[in-house]
Structures are given as structure tokens and as C-alpha cells.
Chain A
Amino acid sequence: MDAAQALADLVEISSQIESAVLADTEGSVQASTFGDDAKASAVAKEAIGLLRDATGPGGEPSQVEIAFLEGSVFVVRDDERVVAAITGREPTSGLVFYDLKTCLRLAGEQPARKAAADAKRRSTKRKDEPEADDGEG
């Protein structure tokens, strides 16, 4: 599943999420629900800044929730990606975090599977290739 499909599934499954953006850990947007690249990029960069500023004795956090009276901000990261989401007021935090982690996992599935398939293909190809021309000359 690619990043856009993972994010589309997220907002379809989670009725609490108003909008979301999926980016790599450098802030490059991979998918968003905003329909505006500049806005998606700005939100992704702020989300990464939030994780950086929330770094404490336990290192950089894996998840952050900021709850305001008018809504909440959720940011979840893994080794390769960051997903940030906006919800209405008083969301069910556990469910939102679960859905965001699922989104990250799904977004990461395709590259891992593709890499494994590519590695297998390369390995098969090498076996099929004829031996080097060491018989000549």
C-alpha cells in the first residue's frame, strides 16, 4: 500500500480525524488530506518541530498529543515517517493513536515488500545468469 492509500484509509476509518499529513522524517510530504501542498508541508514541518521540542530524558518521543479546547493535535512517528492529524475536541486518544500507527505501518509495508521482492528477483537472476567468460582465452 502506498502512502496516499494508507492516509485515505486512515481518514475513512477514523471519523474523529479531520485532516492528516504523512511525511518522511525530513518533512517531505508523501500524502495529505489538505489538497494544498504548501499547507501540508507547513503542518508536516511543524509536527517534526514539535517532536524535536518534546525531546526529553527518554529521547525523541514516538507520539505526542496536544489537547486544546477547540481540538487536538496528534503526531506519531516511526523510523522513516511522521504522521500528524487534527481532531475535534475530546477525541478518544487511544483510538486515534492506534489508527495513526496503523497508517504508518501500512505506508511502510510496500517498500519493505518491494525491497524483499527485488532482492529475491536479483538473487534468482544471478542464479539464472550464465557463468562468467572464464572459459575463453
Chain B
Amino acid sequence: MAKGRVAAAVVAVGSVAGAAALWFRRAGKSKERVEVYYADGSMVTFAPDSEEAARLFPIGRRILSQARS
């Protein structure tokens, strides 16, 4: 009986911790983005998993690391 309660508590705590970790990871990732503004006034936002972001993120990271090195 006691073993069952402990197991249930471990599962519950693990589930909450897992969900929290997933939430924080997604919330953090969603803050990474590329915003491109054109001369005609249009603007495009690229999500981190987009093809454009995959091309532009490495350049941005290089600029950030060079500037802070």
C-alpha cells in the first residue's frame, strides 16, 4: 500500500517536472526568431525551425560570439 503511494507520488512528480521542462524549453525556443524588414515597409518573421532561420541563425551567432569574444 505504502509502496503504491510512493510510486504514484514519484510518477506524479516526474510528470510535473517533465511537463515543466518541456514548457520552459518551448517557451525559450519561441523567443528565438529572425525578423526581416524590407524597404517597402513589409516585414517577415522566421521561426527557428524555418529554412530561412537555418540559413541566418549561424551568421547571427557568429556576430554575437565575435562581438562578445
Q: Is the CB of B56 within 8 A of A50?
A: yes
Q: Interface range on chain B: under 10, 10 to 19, 20 to 34, or 35 or more?
A: 20 to 34
* Interface members, chain A 15-47 (any B CB < 8 Å): 18-19, 34, 39, 42-43, 46-47
Q: Is the CB of B32 within 8 A of A73?
A: no
Tally of A interface residues using CB under 8 Å:
34
Q: Which residue of A lies closest to B61 (CB)?
A: A68
Chain B nearest CB: distance from A118 CB in Å?
29
Q: Is the CB of B62 within 8 A of A66?
A: no
Chain B nearest CB: distance from A54 CB in Å?
5
| A19 to B68 CA separation, bound complex (whole angstroms) | 9
| A118 to B19 CA separation, bound complex (whole angstroms) | 68
